[in-house]
């Protein structure tokens, strides 16, 4: 049996599955032995077309003569306007799992459960208690434990005979969370080294600026929150615009518009999480710097306010917002490629490059 996985996160998930699933499958099948081979390659090629990805999975399995092949990709796939979770072809002993459809929480556990059920079904290891042929058997606990996952109809000419999709608002949020997790927003922090350097320098200078002392002492919580939201929004907008992260969909169909909205929302959330982590880090650094550098007598003489814990906190909070604006300007020193590499998974980068190449070819 083979786990065919896209590079990066899908490969990591597949390798963990290869270690834990044989024992679990043996326990459920009365000691039957299962061995997994993990093959890491960009089999999806960044394409959004479900039929193309499914055909590549089947062809790869037939070429290698694998008993069962389960493909894992971190690209969001769609079937007739619905977000695909998994499709199974018992005729070709192949299955395809879209990891973003499993959501952003407990991804590994959900993926292992999905692959476990698919392998049992494909290997015919569940018996025939209900008198049904193996090619008509569902995936057991898969739908009940991963709601809002539901079966979907399959066309007569399609290679798959079972398909599961997401539905409803919960399904949309689950897919969105999975796409954000696939992008790994925490990688944006080290990817913005020049922007962070500019923000730290801005914060260090601002902390010793007596004018900012007076401003911070006069600000109430509402205005500080507004400054926080405004500075973070400015940073997010600047990164998206400057690095050309905004997705421009092809086609005017409702499905294309929904897909474009999904991609852009995931981009905003990915960048937003990364920027928020940077903001919290700046707040902590500025607070420590303020505790070290400020003098109570000087501060009180200039602001007519005693320097207590609340003043340290207020000043660090306000300076973090000012430093974030400085970081937004400093992000212009980063290359577009560096920001994209930090903001997106490898599969998402490939997909966007393919779309850009298609757009360029159609324009010329």
CB–CB of 350/74 below 8 Å? no
pLDDT at 105 over 80: yes
The SS3 call for residue 271 is helix
Q: What does the pLDDT look like over 30-71, one tens digit per residue?
A: 888 889 999 998 888 767 788 889 999 999 999 998 999 999
Q: Which residues pair with 83 in a beta bridge?
A: 78, 166
**pLDDT exceeds 90 at position 133:** no
- List, in sequence order, the alpha helices (H) in the chain: 9-28, 50-64, 107-122, 141-145, 168-183, 188-191, 193-207, 210-218, 221-242, 254-293, 296-303, 309-330, 336-343, 346-363
Domains of the chain by start residue, with CATH: 2-170 (3.40.390), 184-363 (no CATH)
Q: 150-170 pLDDT, tens per residue? A: 888 888 778 788 899 988 888
Evaluate whether 293 touches 300 at the Cβ level (below 8 Å).
no
What's the predicted TM-score (pTM) here? 0.78
What was the pLDDT predicted at 246? 82
């Amino acid at each position: 049996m083979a786990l065919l996985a896209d590079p990066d996160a899908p490969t990591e998930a597949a390798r963990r599955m290869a270690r834990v699933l044989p024992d679990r499958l043996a326990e459920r099948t009365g000691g039957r032995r299962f061995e997994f081979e993990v093959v890491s390659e960009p089999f999806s090629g960044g394409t959004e077309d479900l039929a193309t990805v499914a055909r590549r999975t089947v062809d790869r399995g037939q070429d290698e003569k694998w008993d069962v092949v389960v493909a894992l990709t971190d690209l969001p796939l769609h079937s007739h306007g619905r977000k695909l979770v998994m499709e199974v072809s018992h005729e070709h002993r192949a299955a395809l799992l879209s990891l973003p459809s499993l959501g952003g929480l407990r991804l590994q556990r959900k993926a292992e459960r999905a692959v476990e059920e698919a392998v049992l079904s494909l290997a015919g290891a569940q018996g025939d208690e209900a008198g049904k042929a193996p090619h008509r058997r569902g995936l057991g606990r898969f739908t009940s434990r991963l709601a809002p996952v539901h079966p979907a109809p399959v066309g007569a000419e399609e290679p798959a005979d079972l398909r599961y999709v997401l539905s409803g608002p919960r399904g949309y949020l689950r897919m969105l969370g999975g796409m954000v997790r696939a992008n790994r927003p925490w990688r944006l922090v080290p990817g913005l080294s020049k922007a962070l350097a500019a923000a730290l320098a801005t914060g260090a200078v601002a902390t010793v600026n007596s004018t900012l002392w007076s401003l911070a002492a006069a600000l109430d919580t509402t205005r500080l929150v507004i400054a926080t939201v405004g500075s973070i929004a400015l940073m997010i907008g600047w990164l998206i615009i400057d690095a050309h992260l905004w997705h421009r969909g092809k086609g005017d169909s409702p499905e294309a518009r929904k897909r474009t909205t999904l991609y852009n929302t995931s981009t905003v959330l990915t960048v937003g999480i990364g920027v928020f982590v940077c903001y919290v880090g700046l707040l902590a650094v500025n607070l420590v710097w303020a505790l070290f550098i400020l003098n109570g007598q000087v501060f009180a003489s200039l602001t007519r306010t005693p320097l207590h814990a609340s003043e340290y906190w207020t000043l660090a909070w306000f300076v973090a917002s000012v430093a974030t604006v400085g970081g937004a300007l400093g992000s212009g020193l980063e290359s577009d490629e560096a920001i994209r590499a930090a903001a997106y998974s490898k599969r998402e980068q490939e997909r966007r490059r393919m779309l850009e190449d298609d757009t360029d070819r159609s324009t010329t």
